Structure 1
């Protein structure tokens, strides 16, 4: 049992050490380049939208009905 614990401890030290750091940085750089640096370019707009807050909306129930939605419900079917 102690050999298994020491083996797993050695593997844990390698995996969560420099190897994981290199993999995380590599994947991050790969995604940034694949997205053409979009997360960095849109960072300012993201913070602006976050700090702006949510504007009150009319909600789904208060929007006007479309002509095709009213057909057969509220008006004669001659529309």
Structure 2
């Protein structure tokens, strides 16, 4: 992660969603990292980087979109 980039971490089931918007010009580019922790029975964890989620006028809107998009992605795929 770049120095000075703020993140918002949200727990969703076995997953941690780390929303990391980046300012590009006057807009905020929304993207996130999704991590599933290893399970107690030894199944390894996973990490996904989801980018190109959209551009927004505010940092808060970029955070919110990444989190909602990631939750929908998790529900659709796991």
| TM-score for the superposition, normalised by structure 2 | 0.28
More strand by share: 2
| TM-score for the superposition, normalised by structure 1 | 0.27
Quick check: which has more Rg, 1 or 2?
1
More helix by share: 1
